[in-house]
């Protein structure tokens, strides 16, 4: 497995395009964010065991969390992560850069593929705990939160697989991978789902195949261009004074040519 250490375990970089599925699973299970999410899921189960809700209420709370997850993901991915307002606010620009701009800049870098726990955990809590509590009190809230954290782990695993350099044999998994690759390398204004594209279909953002729409000029920089950076320089400053204009591999190759 190709692993580059920078400043400690939390800064490990795993390059998905150079890894096998087995190496991915090992890296995934060792990754700090995943360990944290699984630990929080176990804590939620522990709270449920301490303050159990009736089985019916527990199942309803779990079901609500399962149904809510892809909705919340779609809304956040489309209207927050792909927004063009976060970079205009200095204290949000760094967050936007970390949780999505960097991922589109280097899609195969595991270090920036996972969302930051300081953003993910509160979001899952806000999305699941109130509805779980409304359904079945403290036990329902704990069950819904645990479900949300487990779904986060599942979502992240499939997200990793979609960026892995291999062709899935399973047609369902291949379908998910192709749609997500189109989001990253053809047009970022569609295919916002990871494991579920139902909401893309509902809101007419689903497409299958590059021929379905024109190539986006902002698929790698999400609209943060040199012109934008002149008015809102925070993301550029945090990126070493550079605004990306093309595929990461192309930028690396061009940089090497300039150095030579």
For 180-200, the pLDDT digits (tens) are 999 999 999 999 999 999 999
pLDDT in the model for residue 210: 85
pLDDT in the model for residue 73: 95
pLDDT in the model for residue 9: 41
Low-confidence ranges of the chain (pLDDT < 70): 1-13, 244-260
Cα 72 to Cα 81: distance, rounded to the nearest angstrom: 12
The parent domain of residue 98 ranges over 7-219
Strand partners, 119: none
- Per-residue DSSP letter, 53: P
**197 part of a folded domain:** yes
**86 part of a folded domain:** yes
- Kindly report the number of other CB atoms within 10 A of residue 86's CB atom: 23
pLDDT in the model for residue 254: 41
**226 part of a folded domain:** no
**244 part of a folded domain:** no
Number of domains in the chain: 1
**255 part of a folded domain:** no
- Per-residue DSSP letter, 4: E
Angle at 247 between CA 246 and CA 250, to 5 degrees: 90
**47 part of a folded domain:** yes
pLDDT in the model for residue 179: 95
pLDDT in the model for residue 10: 40
- Kindly report the number of other CB atoms within 10 A of residue 9's CB atom: 9
pLDDT in the model for residue 224: 92
Angle at 176 between CA 180 and CA 225, to 5 degrees: 5
DSSP reduced 3-state for 245: coil
């Amino acid at each position: 497995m190709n692993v580059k250490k920078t400043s400690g375990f939390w800064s490990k970089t795993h390059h998905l395009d150079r890894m096998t599925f087995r190496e991915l699973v090992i890296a995934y299970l060792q990754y700090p964010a995943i360990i944290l999410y699984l630990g929080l899921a176990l804590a939620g189960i522990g709270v449920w065991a301490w303050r159990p809700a009736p089985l019916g209420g527990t199942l309803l709370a779990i079901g609500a969390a399962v149904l809510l997850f892809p909705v919340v993901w779609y809304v956040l991915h489309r209207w927050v992560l792909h927004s063009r307002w976060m970079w205009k606010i200095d204290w949000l620009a760094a967050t936007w850069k970390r949780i999505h701009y960097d991922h589109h800049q280097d899609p195969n870098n595991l270090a920036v593929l996972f969302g930051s726990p300081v953003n993910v955990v509160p979001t899952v809590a806000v999305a699941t705990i109130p509805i779980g509590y409304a359904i079945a009190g403290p036990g329902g809230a704990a069950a819904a939160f645990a479900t949300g954290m487990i779904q986060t782990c599942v979502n992240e695993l499939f997200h990793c697989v979609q960026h892995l350099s291999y062709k899935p044999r399973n047609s369902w998994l291949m379908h998910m991978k192709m749609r997500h690759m189109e989001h990253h390398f053809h047009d970022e204004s569609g295919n916002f789902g990871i494991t579920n594209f139902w909401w893309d279909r509902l809101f007419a953002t689903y497409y299958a195949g590059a021929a379905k729409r024109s190539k986006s000029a902002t698929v790698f920089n999400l609209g943060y261009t040199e012109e934008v950076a002149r008015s809102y320089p925070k993301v550029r400053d945090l990126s070493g004074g550079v605004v990306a204009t093309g595929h990461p591999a192309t930028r690396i190759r061009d940089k090497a040519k300039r150095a030579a």
